[in-house]
Amino acid sequence: MRQPVILITGANGEIGHGLVEHFGRNGDHGVVALDLKPMDERLDALCTASITGDILDDNLLKRLISEYEIHAIYHLAALLSTRSEYTPDTAHKVNVNGTLNLLELAAEQSRWHGQPVKFLFPSSIAAYGLPDLATKTEAGAVREDQWAAPKTMYGCNKLYCEQLGRYYTRHYRQLAADRAPSGVDFRAIRFPGLISAVTMPSGGTSDYAPEMIHAAARGESYACFVPEHAQIPFMAMPDAIKSLVQLSAAPAEALQRGVYNVNAFSITAGQVRDWVVEAFPNGKITFEPDAPRVAIVDSWPAEVNDDPARRDWGWKPDYDLARAFDEYLLPTIRSFYHR
């Protein structure tokens, strides 16, 4: 018999670490962790299996189908926005073809065990594209169906995969004589910039905030690649984990949409610097804007409206700006760096 599990792709990444920790300690299914890199030993111990492999490897995915009964997929594997700009074709392969592979795997799993397979997909504020700063300021807290005109390959990938998920959930094989629901229950969250106290991001354009914080905590200098006034929404990593777990647990009939914004706090790069220099006086923060990456950040909303998430599945962040910095980041980073 195949063991009932949840599958987490990109499990060794920032969100992956938090999810493996959560489900490894208190999930009712085993955890199969998949990543290109070997899992950290501490997390490996929490997994039924941790597999080092590629979501583009069809043979590997077939092995997963033969060995496990997958009831939910948290598909985190992706190339983030900056890295995707340097290799747009690879980004499309990983972010889109990889997601298509996992949607097909979910559909086949559901056919085998006869239950729906929940598919949790981390989309992003990168799916939005504001044309200029004046419009960004005027737009205020953007709703899900506004300004979906991404400027990056990563944002295009995320927006298209949202649509792929809707297709699999509602319109899969609609012309087939033996048409049947795919069994894929796709649910997506458009995450803001995420800040973890214990992992470092890589390849994201919102990484300036966590990079600044961690550099200062190490007593190092940091040249921020956006100007002080650059403003986007951010979220403490524990809230990102909470939102995925909460959306996954919501009854399908409560969800009036497949893609949700979640908001925690909106902050400028200058405000991050102000907090950082107070918390870690040895850090030396300067601002050296890199125009192409500034243009990407300027195209993302200053804030998002998350009323639908609050209405449909009771979303509410635990960490507002003050709590995120003073109760999560500061103590956790200090112990992380033994400050």
The pair of structure tokens assigned to 182 is 């795919």
Residue 125 engages ligand AKB in binding (rule: CB under 6 A): yes
Rounded Cα gap, residues 169 and 116, in angstroms = 10
Give the contacts of 154 (CB within 8 A, at least 6 positions apart): 78, 79, 80, 81, 84, 85, 91, 95, 124, 126
CB of 157 to ligand AKB, least distance (A): 11
In whole angstroms, the minimum distance from the beta carbon of 296 to ligand AKB comes to 8
Does position 126 interact with ligand AKB (CB under 6 A)? The reply is: yes
Between β-strands 184-191 and 221-224, what pairing exists: parallel, antiparallel or unpaired? unpaired
Residues facing 185 on adjacent strands:
118
**Which one among 204, 233, 238, 258 touches ligand AKB, defined by CB under 6 A?**
204
Q: Mind telling me the catalytic residues?
A: 154
As a whole number of angstroms, the distance between CA 300 and CA 154 comes to: 13
- Indicate whether 81 belongs to the interface with ligand AKB (CB under 6 A): yes
Cα–Cα distance for residue pair 84/247, rounded to 1 Å: 27
The single residue among 11, 20, 80, 241 that binds ligand AKB, judged by CB under 6 A, is 80
Examine residue 235 and tell whether it contacts ligand AKB (CB under 6 A): no
Q: Which of residues 153-172 bind ligand AKB (CB under 6 A)?
A: 154
Return the range that interacts with ligand AKB (CB under 6 A); candidates 143-151, 202-210, 256-264, 329-337.
202-210
Map the footprint of ligand AKB across residues 248-267, applying CB under 6 A.
Answer: none
Among the listed ranges 24-32, 66-74, 200-208, 280-288, the one in contact with ligand AKB (CB under 6 A) is 200-208
Backbone angles phi, psi at 40, to 5 degrees: -55, 140
206 interacts with ligand AKB by CB under 6 A: yes
Among the listed residues 246, 254, 109, the one whose alpha carbon sits nearest the alpha carbon of residue 189: 246
Question: Under the rule (CB under 6 A), what is the footprint of ligand AKB?
Answer: 80-81, 124-126, 154, 191, 193, 204-206
